Amino acid sequence: MKFTHISAAVLASIALLQGSAFAQTAGAKISDGVVKIGVLTDINGPFMDNVGKGSIVATEIAVEEFGGKVLGFPIEVVIADHQNKADIASTKAREWLDRDKVDAVTELGNSAVALSVMRIAQEKNRMSIVTGAGAVRISNEDCSPNNVHWVYDSYALANVGTKSLVKRGFKTWYYLTADYAFGHSLEGDGKRFIEDAGGKVVGTSRYPFPGNDFASYILKAQESKANAVAIATAGLDLQNAIKQGREFGLGAGGQVSVAMLMSIMDVHGLGLKNAGGMMFAETFYWDRDDDSRQFADKFFKKMKRMPTALQAGQYSAIRTYLKAIEQAKTDDVAEVIKTMKTMNINDAFAKNGKLRDDGKMIHDMYLVKVKTPAESKKPWDYYSIEETVPGNEAFESLSQSKCSLVKK
């Protein structure tokens, strides 16, 4: 999607009618005369339903709400598929930043991809906006002054998603974990919270990501006799693991399977018959309030389905980025992030949101329960929100941070 640069003659004509608007545009400092956003996402891989085309559409909705321009300068969106490979992502990011003068690279739904692109963006003094990856280190020990981390991290997911289940009697746990950065984070953080709540992790199996045959890992989990089997992966891998677990009888005899990261598309793919009753941490639900429903309606008209949390977060992040450019009157990275940190973020995705010094945007999170077929009253009526957890309780505190940007 491209928007044509507004000519000086046209701007001059507008100025005669709207002097104040033209004065704002004339005072703006926009590099190369265009704000260019690169959406680097998983278009055809295991995360494509959770991010992919939906995250591109979410970006377009945010841009459309600005009328395709900010401060009178056009907004251009370019897209590419990182294929869940850090080397491919790095090559594309360098091409965008060096040749195409992209101002911000965003989405980055894979933690290894995100970490590699963040380093390049900092090297080139451009901005990275991570909405699709959740490794804690993105805004902790590997934090960058040029990066914001928007939707969630594995600490918050594990914190909100495990403690309540331990309290409900699921004391022993077995982990089936994707063998890459985000899977490791989910497992490590979950183990911490399980033990803090009085539970114990009795075993772990790690599988090569992405994967499609989980039989041997499921059998090991069953043999462990753990109360709960935590599946620490996402996307199509998560759906396949849950389906195969059902086929092997995982969940029989009181043993339950628990998703460490689940989205509305996972529930949709599994169906309420398979997913009903599962509880997990979420950051967004389309039917939460009027703001979420308004965005979901725009998204549905384009995609014919409801948005995931990552897609809603992408919309929120781009909308906030453009607002910050508008307020700062520049697309300079330092000024934009400084401005973003002054904002109170309440939109379709985030409630009580605030961007911290480490680049992490903290916000309310939710413990949700998947409805059964009998409880669901309309299409996409999938969740009941059981508990709202404030951001300062859900996310790791700055006092524990290893981020070099945090002053202690």
Structure confidence by residue, pLDDT tens digits, 13-58: 333 333 333 334 567 899 999 999 999 999 999 889 999 999 999 9
User: Among 163, 159, 188, 161, which Cα is nearest to 175's?
Assistant: 188
| Predicted TM-score (pTM) of this structure | 0.86
Contact, 114 vs 147, CB < 8 A?
A: no
| Sign of the CA dihedral with 281 first, then 346, 53, and 185 last | negative
Is the pLDDT confidence value at 362 over 50?
yes
- In tens, the pLDDT along 129-181 reads 999 999 899 999 999 999 999 999 989 998 998 988 898 899 999 999 999 88
Domains of the chain: 8-152+288-359 (3.40.50.2300), 155-282+366-392 (3.40.50.2300)
Residue 79 CA: distances (Å) to CA of 88, 138, 198, 352: 13, 22, 46, 30
Helix (H, G, I), strand (E, B) or coil at 364: coil
What's the chain's average pLDDT?
A: 91
Q: How many CB atoms lie within 10 A of CB 356?
A: 21
Encoded amino acid at 201, one letter: V
Residue 181 CB-density burial (10 A; 0-12 exposed, 13-18 middle, 19+ buried):
buried
pLDDT for residue 327: 97
Q: How confident is the model at residue 12 (pLDDT cuts 50, 70, 90)?
A: very low
- In tens, the pLDDT along 69-128 reads 999 999 999 999 999 999 999 999 999 999 999 999 999 999 999 999 999 999 999 999
